Amino acid sequence: MEKKKIIIIGAGPGGLAAGLLLSSKGYSVKIYEKKPYVGGRNSSFNLGDYKFDLGPTFFLMPQVLEDIFIEAGERLDERVNLIEINPMYRLKFYGLDDFNPYSYNKKFLMYGEMEKIFPYSSKSYDKYMNRESKKFSKLEPCLKVPYLSLVDYLKPNFLKALPYLDAHKSIYDVLGNYYKEEELKLSFTFQAKYIGMSPWVAPGTFSMISYLEHKYGVFHVEGGLNRVSKVISELIIKKGGEIFLDTPVKEILFKDKKAIGIKLDNGDTIE
Ligand SMILES: Cc1cc2nc3c(=O)[nH]c(=O)nc-3n(C[C@H](O)[C@H](O)[C@H](O)COP(=O)(O)OP(=O)(O)OC[C@H]3O[C@@H](n4cnc5c(N)ncnc54)[C@H](O)[C@@H]3O)c2cc1C
C-alpha cells in the first residue's frame, strides 16, 4: 500500500517534531523550508570559531522532548547531552548579596540562598512550590488539547482547572500571595519576559513558568540548543523523510476546502 503523503511547511521545532513523529509512524514526510538551514527561530550562526544560538539559549522541561523521542522509537539522551545548570541564574539587587536560585532537586541549597538574604522565606518558597504544583497538574491536561469551539471550554478538565487559572490577576499579584519582599516577587516573576510580557500585565496563569524552572531545572544543550533541531532533522531523514532547504512555499492548494498540496515559489506544485 502506498504510504500516506504528508507535506510540512517550515523546518522549525514545530515542523520538525511533527515530521519526526509522522515519519516514525511510516508516513511519507516531505518538509519544505524557505531558509538554507533547519531550526527556524531555534537556529544558530557561526562567527569565527564560535557558534551562537539565535533563539532559545537554555532548555526547560526536557521530558516533553523525551516523550516525543520515545514515541518516535528514539532516545534523546543518546543523541543530545543535556547539562543541568545550578544555580540556574544569578540575580543582582542593589544593596543586597547576589541571589542564586537553585532548582528544587537542590532545595536545601535554595533554602540557604533564600534565608541568607530574606530570613524565614524558605517556608514561603515551599508554599509557592506546593500551590503552583497543584495548579500545573490541573492546567497541564488543558494545554494538550485544541480549543476549536466554545464547547471545548466546557470539558471537565478545563472546568476543574478554572479555580487555578489566576487569569484575572497578574503574575506579580499571584507571587504576592507567597512573598512580601519586593525582590522575591521580582525573582519569581521576571520569567514573564520569556513570553515577551511584563509581570505586571501577564496573566497570573503564567506564574507556572518560574515554577517549572524551579521544579524541573534549567538545562544547557551541549553544542548549543540548535543541536536539538539538527538532531531531529537527521532522524527524519534516517526514517525516510525528506527536507528541502531553500525552498519557499508560495501557497497551499485546496480542493473542496481540503488541502491537497502546495505551490512553491519556483512555480512547482507538489500534491
Ligand atoms: C530570542 C528567542 C528566545 C526564545 N526562547 C525560548 C525559550 O526559552 N523556550 C521556548 O520554548 N521557546 C523560546 N523561543 C521561541 C521558540 O524559538 C519558538 O517558539 C519556536 O522556534 C517555534 O517553532 P515553530 O516551528 O512553530 O516556528 P519557527 O521556529 O518560527 O519555524 C517556522 C519555520 O517555517 C519556515 N517558513 C515560514 N514560512 C515559510 C514558507 N512560506 N515556506 C517555507 N518555509 C517557511 C521558517 O523559515 C522557519 O524555519 C525563543 C525565541 C527567540 C527568538
pLDDT digits (tens, 9 = 90+) for 61-113: 999 999 999 999 999 999 999 999 999 999 999 999 999 999 999 999 999 99
Residue 2 in this model has a pLDDT that exceeds 80: no
* One-letter amino acid for residue 136 of the chain: F
The alpha carbon torsion through 82, 66, 91, 114 (nearest 10 deg) reads: -110
In the prediction, which pLDDT does 57 show? Answer: 86
Query: Closest Cα to atom 5, ligand 1: which residue?
Result: 56
Cα–Cα distance between 49 and 57 in angstroms, integer?
18
Residue 236 in this model has a pLDDT that exceeds 80: yes
Is 3.40.228.10 the CATH number for 5-56+223-270?
Answer: no
Beta-bridge partners for 29:
6
Ligand 1 centroid to residue 21 C-alpha, Å: 18
Ligand 1 centroid to residue 90 C-alpha, Å: 27
Query: Closest Cα to atom 27, ligand 1: which residue?
Result: 12
In the prediction, which pLDDT does 84 show? Answer: 96
Section 133-137 average pLDDT = 95
Section 237-265 average pLDDT = 97
8 Å CB contact between 157 and 142: yes
C-alpha dihedral sign at 192, 195, 200, 206: negative
59 vs 41, 82, 218, 264, CA distance in Å? 14, 8, 6, 34
pLDDT digits (tens, 9 = 90+) for 252-267: 999 999 999 999 999 9
Residue 1 in this model has a pLDDT that exceeds 90: no
Residue 6 in this model has a pLDDT that exceeds 80: yes
Cα–Cα distance between 42 and 24 in angstroms, integer?
22
Residue located via cell numbers 526536557:
62
Q: What is the mean pLDDT of the chain?
A: 94
Give the nearest ligand 1 atom to 35 CA: 47
In the prediction, which pLDDT does 3 show? Answer: 81
Q: What 8-state DSSP symbol labels residue 256?
A: T
Cα–Cα distance between 112 and 171 in angstroms, integer?
25
Ligand 1 pocket, CB under 6 A: 9-15, 32-35, 40-42, 55-56, 194, 248-249
Q: Beginning with the edge strand found earlier in the chain, give each strand of the sheet holding 82-85 in spatial order.
A: 59-60, 218-221, 82-85
In the prediction, which pLDDT does 233 show? Answer: 98
pLDDT digits (tens, 9 = 90+) for 149-196: 999 888 899 899 998 889 999 999 999 999 999 999 999 999 999 999
Per domain, the residue ranges of the chain are: 5-56+223-270, 87-216
Ligand 1 centroid to residue 13 C-alpha, Å: 7
pLDDT digits (tens, 9 = 90+) for 51-72: 999 999 889 999 999 999 999 9
What is the β-pairing status of strands 28-32 and 242-244?
parallel
Q: pLDDT tier at 24 (50, 70, 90 boundaries)?
A: very high
